[in-house]
Structure 1
Amino acid sequence: MNVGRAKEIAESLEMISVTYEGSPVIIQHVDDNTKMARIYSKADPENEREVPVLNLIEE
């Protein structure tokens, strides 16, 4: 995924299906400079982490 699309999804009111390493995730924030996204798993919302935007897949 590219940074622009990740930001659109993060700001969207719609629930857009995104996965990271095969698991459904929510994008919380995207950093333009580092091209990293703060995400959390739908199954474990307490476990936030920073991952490369390129590794996110829109379903």
Structure 2
Amino acid sequence: MDLRRAKEIASSPVMAHVTHDGHQVYIQSVDDGSGKARVYHLKNPDHRYEVHVGELTEEHVVH
């Protein structure tokens, strides 16, 4: 994922389907300087961590 898209998702009120290492995550914030996003797994919201936005994947879910 690129930095611009990660920032769009973080600021959107609509939940996007984003994964990191096969786990669905929520993007809490994005740091322009480091290119990292602060995320947490949806199944473990107390465990927050940072990853490079390039490690995130947006899945397009068809309903």
Tell me whether the two structures share a fold, i.e. TM-score over 0.5.
Answer: yes
Q: Distance in 2 between matches of 1:57 and 1:35?
A: 15
Q: Could you list the runs of 4 or more consecutive aligned residues of structure 1 that deviate by over 2 angstroms after TM superposition?
A: none
Secondary structure of residue in 1 paired with 2:6: helix
With normalisation by structure 2, the TM-score equals: 0.92
Q: How many residues align?
A: 59
Letter in 2 for 1:23: H
Q: Distance in 1 between matches of 2:36 and 2:57?
A: 14
What CA deviation, in whole Å up to 9, does each residue of 1:2-45 have, x standing for no partner?
00000000000111100000000000000011000000000000
- Aligned identity (percent) is 47
With normalisation by structure 1, the TM-score equals: 0.98
Equivalent runs, 1:10-49 vs 2, <5 Å = 10-49=10-49
Q: Distance in 2 between matches of 1:47 and 1:4?
A: 24
Letter in 1 for 2:13: L
